[in-house]
Amino acid sequence: MKAARVTEYGGRDVLDVVETEKPDPGEGEVRIDVKAAGINFADIMQRRGHYHGGRETPYTPGLEVAGEVDAVGEGVGREPGDRVVTMLDSGGYAEWRASRS
Does position 53 have pLDDT exceeding 90, yes or no? no
Does position 67 have pLDDT exceeding 90, yes or no? yes
45: three-class secondary structure by DSSP: helix
In this structure, how many other beta carbons lie within 10 angstroms of the beta carbon of residue 48?
15
Query: Residues 38-65: what's their mean pLDDT?
Result: 94
Strands (E), the chain: 2-6, 15-19, 29-37, 64-72, 83-87, 96-100
Does position 90 have pLDDT exceeding 90, yes or no? yes
What are the residue ranges spanned by the domains of the chain?
2-100
Does position 54 have pLDDT exceeding 90, yes or no? no
The residues near 39 (Cβ < 8 Å, ≥ 6 apart) are none
Q: Which helix (H) or strand (E) holds 20?
A: none
The answer regarding whether domain 2-100 maps to CATH 3.90.180.10 reads yes
Does position 101 have pLDDT exceeding 90, yes or no? no
pTM, 2 dp: 0.92
Give the max Cα distance, the chain.
40
